[in-house]
Amino acid sequence: MKIDPDKKADLSAQIAQAIRDAIVSGDMIVDERLPSEAELADQFEVSRPTVREALKRLAAQSLIRTQRGAFGGAFVNKLSYEEAYGQQITTSTLLLSMNAVSFDVACEARYALERACTPLSAERRTPDHLATMRAEIHRQGHPGLSDESFCASDVTFHRALVDAACNPVLSYQLAGAVEAMQPLMNMITFTARSREEIVRLHTRIADAVEDTDAQAAETALHELEAYTLTLARDVMAARQKTRQV
Amino acid sequence: MKIDPDKKADLSAQIAQAIRDAIVSGDMIVDERLPSEAELADQFEVSRPTVREALKRLAAQSLIRTQRGAFGGAFVNKLSYEEAYGQQITTSTLLLSMNAVSFDVACEARYALERACTPLSAERRTPDHLATMRAEIHRQGHPGLSDESFCASDVTFHRALVDAACNPVLSYQLAGAVEAMQPLMNMITFTARSREEIVRLHTRIADAVEDTDAQAAETALHELEAYTLTLARDVMAARQKTRQV
DNA sequence: GCTTTTAAAATGTCAGACATTTAAATGTAA
DNA sequence: TTACATTTAAATGTCTGACATTTTAAAAGC
């Protein structure tokens, strides 16, 4: 980990990479303390600010945490599911917003992944998961709900569906897919009519999961995907029309 | 974006968050140039090193890129699929290695997600995708292949299967799941017998995809998941035995 | 023996300087 | 006029040294 050849990249980037490699490869284990900034500066033969920039890079990826005071320092951080969720969502959201990903492609990916969970969800759902889904369905039927709140409730519903698979790795992977869609979903104006239809489909999904009927749940998800697509296309068409006028 | 109240967090973290918010919210668009470090230091009323630490945090997340020289500076970076892949894989790998995720759970998640792609892959696979899959199958049959190379080839095969869905968002989401499994897979010693079985299943998958038979592909993937699990359990059992002696 | 004080070690922040890189502006010659 | 070389300015990258703040452990005092 000591070496640091004179590449073209920034020193702080090289140092960050060297430490990152040591962590990822397992040379440094969770909660192990890194040398102090001064010692690292000596080892890599750079100044302390340079070392600090490297450490901040690692902190941004939740690879290390720092603690002030005597016997403080930088420690290898145990990446929690929550932190991983967060990074996953940030990355996915940016990827979608910056790459002009079409609604269709994003939608297809999201529902395909979600359907991957349904067999497990139907098998393992607890009363808790079902209760969350029912509660969100109920909320979605409330007429005074804003479009934003409706979308947020939608996300909660689908996350409950995913969490019902009782596989944290799956939940982590899906978090990005579901949450990253929210900005795109927020562009849709949900009429009373369309909300009714969505609530109907959500109810079918919840029923199917409660009955441990994976096939029915998948079918309902397919229909929900198709319906979401038609809604999005209507919005796009209306927008196009407005622009032409 | 200017404000920066006296919270408890580090100044560099606060500044990074403020800029991050501006980017994610769309206040700053791709390729827009941030103020120079000196100007940012003025705006936030901190020193230049503090600003630099904040910028390095953002650079670590690929949110900005920096360019030296006149008319250089920090620019909002367009997050490419490649960069997103990379971060996804790093995060997933760490999450698995640091959280004592059981092989079973990770394996279940991976194959569940992969099965989500198969209907699309069977429908849209190009000759290119099929050729990659066949080539990797052929390589896997070579007796001189090391276990590491065998695993690497396995990853390439499965990525081709995923890419065949022709949905970049899906590919991005799956990259983490497939690659993050590699360290776990590398723990398995593949006997000639087990390689033969895996090659057989891979061939069945490729055949099914070529025949646009999604159902057969899913079934083969199910069997591959089950077989992978038995292999892993054998390894664990053998390890347990060795330890007891 | 318990509490308080003190000291030390580490990160967080600042100021100023210099090095390096890069592209535009300028100048010069064909 | 155009092509090429030179200069210059703006920005990031890096270094040095210092001080502030936080936190813990050890020392001092009762």
CATH number at residue A56: 1.10.10.10
Residues A102 and A15 in one domain: no
Residues B19 and B70 in one domain: yes
Nearest nucleic acid nucleotide to B66, CA to C1' distance: D12
Token pair for residue B242? 């060795």
Residues B55 and B87 in one domain: no
Instruction: Mark which of B45, B76, B107 sits at the end of a domain.
Output: B76
Q: B67 - beta bridge partners?
A: B73
Instruction: Mark which of A49, A76, A103 sits at the end of a domain.
Output: A76
Contact B114, A99 (CB under 8 A): no
Residue whose C-alpha is closest to residue A139's, from A182, A205, A187, A202: A202
The answer to whether A215 faces chain B, any CB pair under 8 Å, is no
Checking if the pLDDT of B180 tops 60, the result is yes
The CATH number of the domain where A223 resides is what?
1.20.120.530
Which positions ≥6 away from A113 have C-beta within 8 Å? Answer: A173, A174, A177, B113, B116, B170, B173
Residues B40 and B114 in one domain: no
Coil, strand or helix at A67: strand
User: Is residue B6, in this structure, part of any structural domain at all?
Assistant: no
Residues with CB under 7 A from strand C: A 34, 36-38, 48-49, 52, 55, 66-74; B 10-12, 45-50, 53, 67-72
CB contact under 8 A, A169 and B109: yes
Residues B118 and B220 in one domain: yes
User: Is residue A182, in this structure, part of any structural domain at all?
Assistant: yes
Low-confidence ranges of chain A (pLDDT < 50): none
Determine the pLDDT at residue A213: 95
Q: CA A39 → CA A43, A61, A62, B192, B237, distances in Å?
A: 6, 22, 22, 49, 43
Residues B40 and B119 in one domain: no
Nearest nucleic acid nucleotide to A9, CA to C1' distance: D13
CB contact under 8 A, B105 and A30: no
Per mean pLDDT, which range of A147-161, B42-56, B90-104 is the poorest? B90-104
Contact A61, A87 (CB under 8 A): yes
pTM, two decimals, is 0.85
> CA B205: distance to chain centroid?
22
Contact A197, A241 (CB under 8 A): no
Once rounded to an integer, what is the mean pLDDT over residues B229-236? 87
- Domain interval for residue A121: 82-244
Question: Rounded mean pLDDT of chain B?
Answer: 90
Determine the pLDDT at residue B99: 86
Residues B86 and B69 in one domain: no
Instruction: Mark which of A53, A76, A99 sits at the end of a domain.
Output: A76
The upper half-sphere exposure of residue A91, i.e. CA atoms within 13 Å in the direction of its Cβ, equals 33
Once rounded to an integer, what is the mean pLDDT over residues B179-202? 87
User: Is residue B158, in this structure, part of any structural domain at all?
Assistant: yes
Residues A132 and A58 in one domain: no
Determine the pLDDT at residue B238: 79
Residues B96 and B208 in one domain: yes
User: Is residue B169, in this structure, part of any structural domain at all?
Assistant: yes
Over residues A1-26, the pLDDT tens digits come to: 565 666 678 999 999 999 999 998 88
Chain A contact probe: residue of B25, B50, B56 with most A CBs at under 10 A: B56
Determine the pLDDT at residue A6: 61
Determine the pLDDT at residue B4: 62
Determine the pLDDT at residue A2: 60
The answer to whether B120 faces chain A, any CB pair under 8 Å, is yes
**Cα(B166)–Cα(A101) distance, rounded to whole angstroms?**
13
Counting the structural domains of chain B, the total is 2
User: Is residue A195, in this structure, part of any structural domain at all?
Assistant: yes
User: Is residue A1, in this structure, part of any structural domain at all?
Assistant: no
User: Is residue B4, in this structure, part of any structural domain at all?
Assistant: no
At B2, is the pLDDT very low, low, confident or very high (cuts 50, 70, 90)? low
User: Is residue A125, in this structure, part of any structural domain at all?
Assistant: yes
Residues B69 and B127 in one domain: no
Residues B66 and B95 in one domain: no
Checking if the pLDDT of B245 tops 60, the result is no
Determine the pLDDT at residue A5: 60
Residues A67 and A105 in one domain: no
